[in-house]
Structure 1
Amino acid sequence: MELRMCPSCQQSVLDDDVKECPFCGAAMDGSSGPTTPVKPAARKTEAIAAKTKPTAKAEEPVQKKDDDPFAVKPKAPRKVIKLQRKPTAKVNHRVVCPMCDTNGFGTEAVAGKEVKCPNPKCLMPIFTAPELEVVEPEEPKKPLITPVRIFSLVAVLVMAGIGIFFYINLPPAPTPDPGPGPIVNNGNNNIDQVDPEKNDPVNPDVPPTKPPIDVKAFEQTIFQSSIDSALQRSDNRSKPYCRQLNAEAYIANGDLANALEQLEAFDALEMGLNYFKITPLSNIGWAHLKKGDTAAANKSADEALTFSSKLPQKGAEAVRHAVALGSLLVALERYEDARTLLETREDVQDVAQSAARIAIVIESGTFALDESYDWLPKVRWTSPLSFATAYSAAIRGYSTQTAAFIKAVKDPMRKSECLAAYAAAQANLAIQSGVAFQTDQLPEIEGITTEDQNRALAQVLQSLKKDAASEKLSTQIATAMASWEIPPAAVIPPFRSIYDGDYQYGSIKHRAAAHAQLLLARYYALAGEKAKAWEHIEKSLNYTATMGPTQAAADALVKEVDQNRATIQSRLANELNIEEDIRKRTAFNRYRTNANSIATEAQNRIDLESQIYDVTLDWGLSDQYFQAFQADLKSPRTDNFQMIVENTLSTDLLYSLRQSANETAVKEFLAAWPSAADGKSRLESRMEINRLVDAGNIAQVRDLMKRIDLSLHDPLIELRYACRIAEQQNSEVTLDWIAGMNSIADQEVAYRFSGVKMTRRGEIDPFWNATLKRNLSATDKCSRNLGLIEGLNSTDVYKQKVEEPQSGKKKP
């Protein structure tokens, strides 16, 4: 296509209908010349100048904006602030993406500016951060004392003085006439008799009864709050978690249809967290199983299993979802699915131990976290998920299936711990039913040793009160233990064995024996038989001594490897007959790796032994502990005893001796260990905190907890206190404690557990009203609401009683 050309300036013109040239103004038909004169001479002069000066850069012709029809104003580059995924100490201002609801973090300076969502999959990542809420400064308070107020006060006093003067000078009032006499009962019993002392309407002898709560209306209010909170964008830690909690609440209330609607909302979020559906689907499976619909229960379990592939391997959420689904699979006799789900997520760390305990009290329906320490002492399990799953399935009444699951477990240690969980569940079921526990209730399982069997029976003792039956069982266990052989303590292996890795510490048999001895010691200690208790403590330590060398020996080995590399490498070269330098270095690295693994085993041993000595003080065995200390001074022991006293327990032991009023022991201990008087006892702080918690003095508890890190003693310590306070104190005190908790996750669990406990106490209305005054987050509200619904469906407190008319009285 050819373009029209201006006859004057020879420029190409795009528009076919234009009559004048847009460049020079000349008529396109040639009838008139250009309105803007053309200067060819200037161009020629510029060309000549350009030729005479080749080194100078020619200036580009500048065209006016008004004369250029193609001129488009370029957009200035935008400065977009990218938000961070996680908050830091300085970057902690939360900004929620309006597109994908992802939380991002920046400084407060990003308010009102364009920011970029940290989610790489966000469809519209650029948005403007909301402005900060401006808090208007309060108006300065006027002074209380002003001239006007002073004048008014003086005037009031003067007028009062005048009134009093005239009142005093009034003449005496005349004596009033006597009134009518008292009403005399003429024998007409139809007149209601009133006892002014018992039925005074102004000061009643008994407080008026609270009006009954409309449970159905209350439930609707709770569910509406849950739905609104799940849709809330600001101050919402996790929308998927809100949906999970809401689904669980509907299931607890028997409304599976609405529960499924909540689960369908996950798909709209598109956050890759569909494994949050596992627990609700497992609960739906339990609901079907309760009705006898095994096919529907299996269908729910299948759907939950499809999401388990995305379930993390570690973390509290992984534990709780795995236990919820695992116990359902056991009840459905799908043992291999349960075993595979659990074994890949077993962990001995505190997070798994704590999450497993929480899962146990949830799955059992008791929510009694603090009371769980009465029957499940704080001792670390090697397979906490399997233990919690076996207990949860057995406590629901599926004992036969649980026994079959234990037989399907392949790992001997895991099998032993599952048997202990089974035994604990049977003991608690017997107590709930008011019947005696029978030792023949434990199933015969291939691969279970006598140590495993007696460890399970010792676990049963923790649930039983001291009576003839429990004494008989303890004697039976002690008799069996008396025949066990005491193994030799572990030592550092020979030089060549370290290189070859030819060593093994702590057999499964010895670990079970150590735990069984410790459980029996606890039973005797709480029963007041402290000498027997310490005897079994010492026996337990004999078995823990097989789990690794002493800490001192392991430290010496590691120090030797670090300081004498050349000597060790040369010795390895001679023994292995190697000459190449690279092979020498490889041999040394292997030796060092094995030495470090030995040091790890030694650390695990001393950690376990420190925990054992720590709980002995809680069990009131300070005098026996001190006697062991005295014996160590006369004849030093070769184990970790002295190091444990020095590093962790000297102040606790001193406090225990003072509490037992053993002044002689206190003086002797301070003479041998004067530094113990300078430290702060964690045991003393725990005891003082327990006293303050029982008294509801939250402020002093917080002050004490700042001075000492009680989480080293128990990671669930704040959640335990929350449960205890909810059992003993009012709603305001409970909520004050929860608001000050450090862990957000534990805080949410506390709202749930306290909701259950307050509801079962009959305090649902004041608890609900108290929470409305608090600034609860969306997840906090959903957690609270789940607890309230679970409480309402597990108590008869709010059922209205129908009063029958008494004989001799007419029904109104």
Structure 2
Amino acid sequence: MCETPGFVPRQAAGREVKCANPECLVPIFTAPAGKSASKPDESVSAADDDTQAGGKGTLIALMLLVAAGAAGGGFWYFNNIPPETSEPGITAGNVQSGFGPTDTPAVVSATPPENNPVKAASDVPPKEESDGISIALIRKQAPGLMIAAAQEREDNRSKPFCRQLTAEFFASVGQVDQALAELKQLTQVGPDLPHLHITTLVDLWQHKQGSAPASPGPQLNEAVQRSSNLTATDPFAVDVIQALGCALVASGQTALAETTIQRLWTPGLAQRLRLDQLQCRQSGTFTLSANNTWPVSLDDESNPEPLLIAGLVAAGHSEAALAWARRKTTLSERSELIVAWAVGMKTKAEAAAVEKLSTSLADEDPAIRAVVLARMAFVDAAAKSPTASESITLATQALESCVAPRVVSLGEIKQLYRTAIDDVSRWRLKAQAQADLIGALNLSGQLEKARKLFHDALASARSLGPGRDDIAQRLKSTRSQGNAGLIQQMKSSLELTSDDAALQAGQQYVKKCQEWLTLADQRARYLDQIHRWGIAHGLGSESWKDIRERGLTGDLSIRDPFTSSTLPSFLFLSFQAAGNTNATGLMNQFLPAGLPIDTNEQLRLRTGTALSSGDLQAVVQAVRADSNARRDRDSRFARRRILFELVGIAASSEYPQRALTLVASIRDPRLAIWQEEAYLLLAAQLAANGRHAIAWKYATNGNRKPTERVALITGLLEGLNSLAPQTAPGT
């Protein structure tokens, strides 16, 4: 079942059907029942149909009005948004500059105060005792309940899903016969889903390895065979990359691992969200964090290989992991994987890990050493480790050996034409290391050093290339004059006499401008990420100073495109949420009107405030309103990520029951798979925090659907297993 629209005959309602999408992860599911006379439950998507409720006459009249006013009013509308149609609390109207009133809270409850908002069902702090629900009891009864849930027909969205999770559980604890029995059942209920066997087969292979060096085996060979028809667009592809990739690298089949990853990985929103879920499960946090204790990636690109490296180290294959990381030749790729290896080694807390890390870094480029040591410092600071101070010192010293910042000045046409474009990898890595160290310094209370380093990091980012506005304007001007104008310009600027030579020089000039534009885009992305990271670490005032100096200047050669991004809005929302009216007043005074709004951050703050007050109805209403306003793919996945974050926040709060109630409140059928994924992470987080009784009671309640129960129990068992270190193969 996925989000692919389709038609289900009335007689198929309530029965198992097959999804029309050939790439659906779980194509066999139970079709929703037909409409009943009773009023449907309110859901996040309930308002999706509200816009279609009006009569055709009204719709036609509106279309005529829109058509009549489109030509004359289109430009006015997009540049002059009336205050009464804007979101409360952050207005971009034509009445004033900036983002609107400074005395309006950034986060406005979706429920008026007089409406008595619905609170969480169990809005009292949980008792410390487990009401007789012991971990031993859960471990004993859980497998039977999972099998029973997989056998249920009523309200069972996907029997294959239930069988898959049950088989994976038995394989993970070494119960081979039970795992094989579940795989047999999986074949019967999902004969056209061979890839759902892969993770279980890999676990069975790993169980057979013991302490001996890993080697190929029949289960691993079968897993490879079952992956042959899987495509990169399949939602399960990320899971297969992680499980099968680790096994292939550990068993020495690196070439096959390489081709498998290349075949199954396609960067995208769905893949990135799934990758982050697997990462938080592997790390044992079980929550998608949005706070400043989660490392930042300035590249803002997803890559499955760091998670694969971490999995190899956790399974005891650190040598294979390091060799896999070192196969990369580019500094950026190599540093990313060595960082993952180093953090994994530190997590294992072995006595020889520090010495091994030092030895391994000795021959690496200074930029790579700086990135690794800065990430280690950040990890130590986030964990409040007693070694944080020493780690910060080592990272600071490593940065001193990195390349110095530069000023990229293109000058006139002759200078731009003759200036060579250097490899900027070392500036990128230096900026990344500085960003991690900024976080480490802030988390360690060294705010003044963090402020200075923030501006140093911005200088490193500006070393990547020219300002985007400058090079974009040059390229636009060159293209607008045509070949004849370009030839004359090259003749004049480069002192050429031949038309052919001038045309060839002009083509090289345009190509070089395009290359500079690519670097300018990288510069803009890095600056944006560093600013947001600094704001998250309390450096909002420093960020505003830089935005004002470099984003509002009239000097095109040094101007950065801040006002065309949502960065000013992000900063404004941060100030507003903190009640800093002086800062919001200054921003409104100096910024131009009509700047883009960071709607993701706006939704995150609004729902977070509602959640903290226990107003779950307001959370649901805010998400529903956003889903009506923004229907693009990026926004859909942004909402899902925010919901994951909210669930994790609620689970770690004084009122964890709110998390369960929140997940249950999302009744959109299109989010059924998200709901099960959220239940799994939530139950694991509760169990890892010693709140297993709450999750167990909820999972075993008679109102749970089979797939929900299996997901909850799977998460519970994962969370409990994270409490005690497991003996891994190869250790």
The TM-score with structure 1 as length reference comes to: 0.63
- 1:740, 1:590 → 2: CA distance? 59
Q: Look up the match of 1:286.
A: 206
Residues 759, 556 of structure 1: alpha-carbon distance in 2 compared, 3 angstrom cutoff:
same
* 1:275 counterpart residue number: 195
Aligned mate of 1:451, from 367, 373, 381: 367
Question: What is the identity, as a one-letter code, of the residue corresponding to 1:647?
Answer: S
Q: Does residue 527 in structure 1 map to residue 416 in structure 2?
A: no
The whole-number CA distance in structure 2 between the counterparts of 1:367 and 1:536 is 32
Distance of aligned partners of 1:525 and 1:676 in 2 relative to their CA distance in 1, 3 Å threshold = farther
The amino acid that maps onto 2:620 is: R
Deviates more, 1:567-576 or 1:486-495: 567-576
Distance apart, 1:420 and its partner CA: 0.6
User: 2:264 and 2:557 mapped to 1: Cα distance?
Assistant: 34
Q: Which residue of 2 aligns with 1:789?
A: 717
The whole-number CA distance in structure 2 between the counterparts of 1:626 and 1:267 is 59
Equivalents in 2 of 1:731, 1:608: separation in Å? 37
Task: Map residues 135-154 of structure 1 onto 2, 5 A cutoff.
Answer: 135=36
Q: Which residue of structure 1 aligns with residue 228 of structure 2? A: 309
| Aligned residue among 354, 371, 383 for 2:273 | 354
Deviations 1:567-591 (A, max 9, x none): 4676799999899xxxx9x999999
Once residues 492 and 311 of structure 1 are traced to their aligned partners in structure 2, the CA distance between those partners, rounded to angstroms, is 48
Give a deviation string over 1:294-338, Cα, whole Å, max 9, x none: 577644333322334333235653222212222233433444443
Residue 221 and residue 375 in structure 1: after superposition, are their counterparts in 2 closer, same or farther (change >3 A)? same
Counterpart in the other structure of 1:545: 462
1:653 has 2:554 as partner? no
Which residue number corresponds to residue 469 of structure 1? 387
* Matches of 2:187 and 2:596, distance apart in 1: 59
CA contact under 8 A between 2:695 and 2:716: conserved in structure 1? Answer: no
| 8 Å Cα contact 1:368-1:723 kept in structure 2 | yes
SS in 1 for 2:36: coil
AA partner of residue 210 (structure 1): D
In structure 2, what is the equivalent of residue 376 of structure 1?
A: 295
- Whole-Å separation in 1 of the counterparts to 2:302 and 2:264: 9
Residues 662 and 411 (structure 1), Cα distance of their counterparts in 2 relative to 1, 3 Å cut: closer
Structure 1 counterpart of 2:167, one-letter code: A
Instruction: Return the letter of the residue paired with 1:321.
Output: V
Cα-to-partner distance string for 1:699-744 (whole Å, 9 max, x where unaligned): 2233444566887878622212222323336675323322355744
| CA offsets 1:45-102 (integer angstroms, 9 cap, x no match) | xxxxxxxxxxxxxxxxxxxxxxxxxxxxxxxxxxxxxxx99744x9677986999942
Match of 2:164 in 1: 244
Structure 1 partner of 2:664: 739
Mind listing any 5+ residue stretches in structure 1 that lack a counterpart? 1-83, 106-117, 120-128, 139-205, 797-812
1:770 and 1:546 map into 2 onto residues whose CA distance is 54
Whether the 8 Å CA contact 1:525–1:621 is kept in 2: the answer is no
Q: 1:488 to 1:324 in 2, by over 3 A?
A: same
Q: 2:307 and 2:300 mapped to 1: Cα distance?
A: 10
> What is the CA distance between 1:457 and its match in structure 2?
0.8
What does residue 751 of structure 1 align with?
Answer: 679
Distance (Å, rounded) in 1 between the aligned partners of 2:171 and 2:682: 19
Q: Which amino acid aligns with 1:607?
A: R
User: Counterpart of 1:479?
Assistant: 397
CA–CA distance in structure 2, aligned partners of residues 131 and 719 of structure 1: 25
Q: Higher helix proportion, which one?
A: 2
The aligned counterpart of 1:671 is 589
5 Å-filtered alignment, 1:389-428, equals 389-428=308-347
Query: Does 1:693 pair with 2:611?
Result: yes
Q: What is the alpha-carbon distance in structure 2 between the residues aligned to residue 718 and residue 538 of structure 1?
A: 33
For the pair 1:620 / 2:541, whether they are aligned, the reply is no
How far the C-alpha of 1:378 sits from its partner, in A, is: 5.3
The structure with higher relative contact order (CA 8 Å, sep 6+) is 2
CA contact (8 A) 1:711 1:717 kept: no
Aligned partners of 1:131, 1:517: CA distance in 2, in Å? 52
Code of the residue aligned with 1:418 in structure 2: it is L
- Equivalent pairs counted in the alignment come to 611
Task: Map Cα deviations across residues 633-690 of structure 1 (whole Å, 9 max, x no partner).
Answer: 9976767765315632334434545667766655544332374999788657645544
Write the deviation string for residues 249-282 of structure 1: whole angstroms up to 9, x where unpaired.
2223432222223334455467654233322222
Paired residues for 1:68-217 under 5 Å: 87-88=4-5, 101-104=17-20, 133=34, 135=36, 210-212=131-133, 214-215=137-138
The residue that corresponds to 1:227 in the other structure is 150
What do the CA deviations read for 1:101-147 (whole angstroms, capped 9, x no partner)?
42249xxxxxxxxxxxx99xxxxxxxxx9996473569xxxxxxxxx
CA contact (8 A) 2:296 2:533 kept: no
Q: Is residue 460 from structure 1 mapped to residue 385 from structure 2 by the alignment?
A: no
The superposition leaves residues 231-260 of structure 1 with CA deviations (integer Å, 9 ceiling, x where unpaired) of x49763x55444432221222343222222
- 2:79 is matched with none
Aligned to 1:257: 177
Hey, what's the Cα distance between the residues in 2 that align with 1:549 and 1:219? 59
Cα distance change of structure 1 residues 400 and 92 upon mapping to structure 2, 3 Å threshold: same
TM-score, scaled relative to structure 2 = 0.69
Cα 1:282–1:207 change in 2 (3 A) is closer
Corresponding residue of 2:431? 514
CA gap of 1:298–1:312, structure 2 versus 1, over 3 A, is: same
Determine if contact 2:366/2:402 at 8 Å carries over to the other structure: no
Distance 1:511 1:447, change over 3 A: farther
- Structure 1 490/269 Cα, relative in aligned 2: closer, same or farther at 3 Å? farther
Cα offset, 1:464, TM superposition: 1.0
CA contact (8 A) 2:232 2:266 kept: no
Deviation at 1:542, TM superposition (A): 2.8
SS at match of 1:444: helix
Aligned-partner residue type, residue 360 of structure 2: E
1:331 partner letter: A
Amino acid at match of 1:789: L
Separation in structure 1 between the aligned mates of residue 270 and residue 511 of structure 2, nearest angstrom: 27
Q: Indicate conservation of the 8 Å contact 1:285/1:296, yes or no.
A: no
- For the residues of structure 1 that align with 2:598 and 2:428, how far apart are their CA atoms? 33
What secondary structure does 1:524 align onto? helix
Coordinate RMSD, CA, aligned: 4.9
Distance 1:540 1:336 in 2: 38
Aligned to 1:7: none
Counterpart Cα distance in 1 of 2:497 and 2:705: 65
2:54 matched residue in structure 1: none
243 and 691 in structure 1: CA distance in 2 versus 1, 3 angstrom threshold: same
- Assess if the C-alpha contact under 8 Å between 1:315 and 1:352 holds in 2: no
Which of 214, 218, 235 is equivalent to 2:141? 218
Rounded Cα–Cα distance in structure 2 between residues aligned with 1:514 and 1:131: 51
Q: Counterparts of 1:473 and 1:321 in 2: how far apart (Å)?
A: 35
Q: Cα distance 1:349–1:297, how it changes in 2: closer, same or farther (>3 A)?
A: same
SS of alignment partner, residue 304 of structure 2: helix
Structure 1 position 208, deviation (Å): 9.0
Contact 2:202 2:243 in 1 (8 A): yes
Give 1:419 deviation, angstroms.
Answer: 0.8
Q: Does 1:603 align with 2:504?
A: no
1:453 CA displacement: 1.0
Check whether the contact 2:566–2:595 (CA below 8 A) recurs between aligned residues.
no
Deviation, 1:787, is: 1.8
> Bigger shift: 683-692 or 721-730?
683-692
CA distance in 1, matches of 2:306, 2:517: 28
Change (3 A) 1:651 1:775: same
